[in-house]
Chains A and B, each alone.
Chain A
Amino acid sequence: MVLNQDQKCERIASRIARELRDGYYVNLGIGIPTQVANFVPQGMDVILQSENGMLGIGPYPMDSEVDADLINAGKETVTELKGTCYFSSADSFSMIRGGHIDLTVLGALQVDENGSLANWAIPGKMLKGMGGAMDLVAGAKRVFIAMEHVTRDKAPKIVRTCSLPLTGVEVVDFIVTELAVIEVTPDGLLLKEVAADTTVEYVQSVTEPKLLFPLDGPVPMLV
């Protein structure tokens, strides 16, 4: 079975959602990471932080509720919850840099063997800026990467050394793709889970650095 784009994103987002715990403060990046919010288990309070100054992001509004003064960091209109609070960008990044965010989920262009991340620039091609990503990887307690395993041209995104401008050095804890869950350890990249519709050999073939295996081998990817 070949997964389409939506199915890949859904698998990645739902896997990362299994890492959430009641009471977590979480910052989700733009793209696949945003979708993790759709998989928060019923009855669990996970407070989503938005770096533009909000704790407690609610769902998208009804048409009648749309408010230009209420957006998330992706500039999408959102709603508030009972218990939501607002604050300045300086306060927002005090939370982020100061180690108060339990988990952040970000996209990536490249992640390397040591957990260094590149996700904000392609010299000469893409000029966007790093936004809050460098602060998030510097300050969040755990950094998860949610991304497709390879580029559109099928080139590995998990590489020996990032060739693109870095977002942070040795900052990633886990990489979750549609194929695998990989932990960044001091010894290298540990292949912890492999999706049911692929093989260890295939995952290695589309991953540049040599993967390490747990003693009992990787388990099927939880979804």
Chain B
Amino acid sequence: MDKRIQSSDAGIERIQDGATILMGGFGLCGIPENLIWAIRRKGLRDLTIVSNNAGVDDFGIGILLQNRQVKKMVSTYVGENKLFEKLVFNGELEIELNPQGTFAERLRAGGAGIPAFYTPTGYGTVVAQDKETREYEGRMFVLERAIRGQFAFIKAWKGDRWGNLVYRKTAANFNPMMATAADYVIAEVEELVELGEIDPNQVHTPGIYVDAIFQGSNYEKRIERRTTKRTERP
């Protein structure tokens, strides 16, 4: 078995306009940089993108917004992107905002064969509008549906040709759930290693979830807020 592919462009060959794509990352940390650039190059349009954030104006998912390739975003926090706000207020972009824990669990459920679940989060807020609610042990809960994508773009630190993945530090974030919740899952890694090089005890995403894998290149790994010991506190 060999899930290796040559490049990000090869990875997205089967994706068409209007597709729904899950994209890992929190802010700019742990985002599938190579695959996002490939989508930009190919010029796919009317995409629905499921991602915690929408990048910044000129990096990450921001480069797809610039090019008007996105029809709808399903996210939790989009505050770092001025263009995003403008597109939404002009009616050029649809947005569905989720509480972050609900978003994470909807993806987890999507990958785990669970169609919906009750959560206390958002009860009594706009998030619960038009959703079923139910009382359990004196507390109210909101029914939330699972999310699945046609494709998922995963960014990991290391991977092998069976698709086993290891993430690094806080760059894991939504990648592990998204890797389980799409019909076709493409992983880009910083280091593609030989089978057996990853300690089996340390595998985060078992290869069963991954359909294609390649070693990315030219990672910028841009930092959104570089705070150091010498940084003045806000």
Cβ of B89 and Cβ of A68 under 8 Å apart? no
Chain A residues in 8 Å Cβ range of B97: 129-130
Cβ of A129 and Cβ of B76 under 8 Å apart? yes
Cβ of B121 and Cβ of A135 under 8 Å apart? yes
Q: What are the interface flags for A68-91 relative to B under an 8 Å C-beta threshold, 1 for contact and 0 otherwise?
A: 111111111110100000111110
> Number of contact residues on A: which range applies?
35 or more
B26 proximal to A (CB < 8 A): yes
Residue of A nearest to B177 (CB): A90
Which of A16-24, A56-64, A173-181, A193-201 is found at the contact surface with chain B? Answer: A56-64
A-B contact count (CB 8 A): 180
Chain A residues in 8 Å Cβ range of B105: 90, 93, 97
Closest 8 CB pairs of A and B: A93-B101, A135-B101, A128-B79, A169-B124, A134-B99, A68-B221, A129-B77, A131-B77
Chain A residues in 8 Å Cβ range of B224: 71, 75
Q: 7 interchain pairs (CB within 8 A)?
A: A52-B29, A73-B26, A88-B104, A92-B104, A127-B84, A128-B79, A132-B76
Instruction: Give the residue of A51, A96, A129 whose beta carbon is less than 8 angstroms from that of B75.
Output: A129
Chain B residues in 8 Å Cβ range of A129: 75-79, 97
A35 with B120: in contact, given A74-B225, A165-B126 (CB under 8 Å)?
no
A138 proximal to B (CB < 8 A): yes
Cβ of B124 and Cβ of A166 under 8 Å apart? yes
Residue of B nearest to A74 (CB): B225
Which of B11-19, B163-171, B210-218 is found at the contact surface with chain A? Answer: B163-171
Q: What are the interface flags for B205-234 relative to A under an 8 Å C-beta threshold, 1 for contact and 0 otherwise?
A: 000000000000000011111111111011
Instruction: Give the residue of B88, B125, B169, B204 whose beta carbon is less than 8 angstroms from that of A69.
Output: B169
Complex alpha-carbon distance, A50 and B100, angstroms: 12
Name the residue among B100, B170, B227 with the largest chain A CB count within 10 angstroms. B170
Majority SS at the chain A contact face? loop
Chain A residues in 8 Å Cβ range of B234: 31
A54 proximal to B (CB < 8 A): yes
Cβ of B176 and Cβ of A88 under 8 Å apart? yes
Name the residue among A53, A89, A139 with the largest chain B CB count within 10 angstroms. A89
A residues near B, CB below 8 A?
31, 35, 38, 50-54, 59-63, 66-78, 80, 86-90, 92-93, 96-97, 116, 124, 127-135, 138-139, 165-169
Q: What are the interface flags for B120-146 relative to A under an 8 Å C-beta threshold, 1 for contact and 0 otherwise?
A: 111111110000000000000000000
Q: What are the interface flags for B85-113 relative to A under an 8 Å C-beta threshold, 1 for contact and 0 otherwise?
A: 10011000001010111111101100000
B172 proximal to A (CB < 8 A): yes
Cβ of A75 and Cβ of B121 under 8 Å apart? no
Cβ of B173 and Cβ of A88 under 8 Å apart? yes
Cβ of B172 and Cβ of A88 under 8 Å apart? yes
Cβ of B77 and Cβ of A128 under 8 Å apart? yes
Chain B residues in 8 Å Cβ range of A76: 225, 227
Chain B residues in 8 Å Cβ range of A63: 228, 230
Instruction: Give the residue of B26, B167, B168, B227 whose beta carbon is less than 8 angstroms from that of A77.
Output: B227
Cβ of A86 and Cβ of B170 under 8 Å apart? yes
Least Cβ distance of B127 to chain A in Å? Answer: 7
Instruction: Give the residue of A78, A127, A128, A167 whose beta carbon is less than 8 angstroms from that of B125.
Output: A167
Instruction: Give the residue of A52, A78, A128, A138 whose beta carbon is less than 8 angstroms from that of B173.
Output: A52
B80 proximal to A (CB < 8 A): yes
Residue of A nearest to B124 (CB): A169
Cβ of A77 and Cβ of B228 under 8 Å apart? yes
Least Cβ distance of B107 to chain A in Å? Answer: 7
Complex alpha-carbon distance, A132 and B97, angstroms: 11
Chain B residues in 8 Å Cβ range of A53: 26, 170, 172-173
Least Cβ distance of A117 to chain B in Å? Answer: 10
A86 with B99: in contact, given A62-B228, A129-B78 (CB under 8 Å)?
no
Complex alpha-carbon distance, A167 and B121, angstroms: 9
B30 proximal to A (CB < 8 A): yes
